[in-house]
Structure 1
């Protein structure tokens, strides 16, 4: 009887999903709104608002400026798929939860606003506005809105899991479960289309790479053993990505955590690795492509900043600075996310419990 039960569960899961490519519900034309949560890899100007307003976030309905520095992938997605309206709640420096890996930011005299404690409530506050609330509300969360989360760069880096600075007793599992708790809140409000972007290969970023930078403005107390740092962060990011790989279909199809929903898991790790290994296919500046150097160099104090090549060839670099991808990488990522929304990205795996 037990064996028959297992076969029944597996058969049910198989009929409920279509993995890798192609689900009828994934078509960019059906989506009107893209709602994003995350950190500096997605933020445009939300942290800047906190800085300029004494650590206080924007009131619900505030229309924030686009980035004046690097246009992130989410903005490019909205540009490439002009039917989409972007609602971006990401905050540079954010972690998934400050109850797991709090990171203090002296400039705002507080921890960086996190996904679970700030970004999700900020979205819910705007979603609760009347339909005339500055155009920030959404018509039908279940049919025309897709939600995305890209988080982990700060959770797994220095001042967090990398340096054993997490809250005592917290595990990598707590970080990954936090991501699904964020989806829980969105689902409870009516969201039914989601994509999770797994963690980037941080061991390739100059801040953590074995042949990378010494102490940086983001990691001023960096130890000298670069090999150990690269190996530790590679291990942790690979581990949580494996959790995402198996936990996502389990929660959707077996545990029935999100009935009536569509999920896609985007392999950000593999896409960044592909760019790193084949830079000439993706980096199109006038100078020689580079994946080890970065475009914007500053001192450990964050001063004396200069651009390589006098900023005449920023698209030759994979990395804008020691930690953040260049705008060209954001463009490549955005192109793949548009494919994801169309159900055709080779970097995405799809599941449905509809």
Structure 2
């Protein structure tokens, strides 16, 4: 499913390689396993970019990274390593993300010493909302309201990730799920982000399609070094368990996310204006 969204680049986006701070909100697909209640911002350093010992404790194979860990490791070897503040918690819905922002990020955000032009706010949520039959219009309206709060704090660069085709996971196949509700979530999200970008004229707003990445892997697993039977079973190269992808899928995902972000060139004229970004396929 192609995402009908126009990525928008504005003046505070200096490019992914110049991004210093990655602030992440979401669910188990992004969780690296630290206790947010006891989270110590000072633990996030260039040598320890996740704030916990790499790769953390993500929802995939033991001692293996998820997409966040792969990106942190990739950038650790660069001239501008990322500092990652990952507030994602397994099982969380949009309501959980609201708590992540209001209870943990906002009260401590000044200690991070972030700036509008060196920080990317990443939100990947929705799988648990759809699974709980939450009204997507209401949930995404609340999610956008939260982005407005981040914008008011000075946030200017936003990356959103849509939901993958969970109906094709082992859990989805066992329950005879259909793609309709996941497609509805993604469509509602893209429409809401378009309105958000139009009303916030300094915001760079990007949407990466996990739906497209997972679909490519599931349609042609051999292309990614996986077997066809991996599509339907757990503990193989595609699915770690009945709902969560393996570290191999996270590696593919991290590569595509980094390629997507690096393809979003900053504005030449930094005085203002905007430019259309490229989609996840590079077109």
Q: TM range, normalised to the smaller chain? A: 0.7 to 0.9
Note if 1:241 corresponds to 2:178. no
Find the counterpart in structure 2 of residue 267 from structure 1.
Answer: 209
Larger radius of gyration: 1
CA contact (8 A) 1:280 1:289 kept: no
Once the two structures are superposed, the pairs formed by residues 119-268 of structure 1 within 5 Å of their partners are 119-129=101-111, 137-140=112-115, 142-157=116-131, 160-161=132-133, 166=134, 171-209=135-173, 212=174, 226-227=175-176, 230-231=177-178, 234-253=179-198, 256=199, 258-268=200-210
Structure 2 portions without partners, runs of 5+: 44-50, 265-277
Equivalent residue of 1:338, what SS?
helix
Show the 5 A alignment for 1:20-169.
25=13, 27-46=15-34, 49=35, 57-61=37-41, 63=43, 64-65=51-52, 66=54, 67-68=56-57, 69=62, 70-82=64-76, 83-97=81-95, 114-129=96-111, 137-140=112-115, 142-157=116-131, 160-161=132-133, 166=134
**Structure 2 Cα separation of the partners of residues 289 and 95 of structure 1:** 31
Tell me which residue corresponds to 1:299: none
Asked if the contact 1:60–1:122 (Cα under 8 Å) also holds between the matched residues in 2, the reply is: no
RMSD of aligned Cα (Å):
2.6
The structure richer in helix per residue is 2
Q: Deviations over 1:121-160 (max 9, x none)?
A: 311122133xxxxxxx1331x1000010000111111xx1
User: What is the CA–CA distance in structure 1 between the aligned matches of 2:140 and 2:8, rounded to whole Å?
Assistant: 24
In structure 2, the residue matched to 1:290 is 230
CA distance in structure 2 between the partners assigned to 1:349 and 1:138 by the alignment: 32
Quick one: higher RCO (CA 8 Å, sep 6+), 1 or 2? Answer: 2
Determine the C-alpha separation between the residues in 1 that align with 2:114 and 2:10. 23
Structure 1 distance, partners of 2:251, 2:146, is 26
Shift of 1:277: 0.4
Secondary structure of 1:272's aligned partner: helix
Distance 1:19 1:37 in 2: 22
Q: Report deviation, 1:181.
A: 2.0
Aligned residues: 247
Q: Choose 67-76 or 27-36, whichever is displaced more.
A: 67-76
TM-score with structure 1 setting the length: 0.64
State the distance in 2 between where 1:292 and 1:23 align.
42
CA distance in 1, matches of 2:213, 2:23: 22
Structure 1: runs of 5+ lacking an equivalent: 1-17, 51-56, 98-113, 130-136, 213-225, 296-315
- What TM-score do you get using the length of structure 2 for normalisation? 0.79
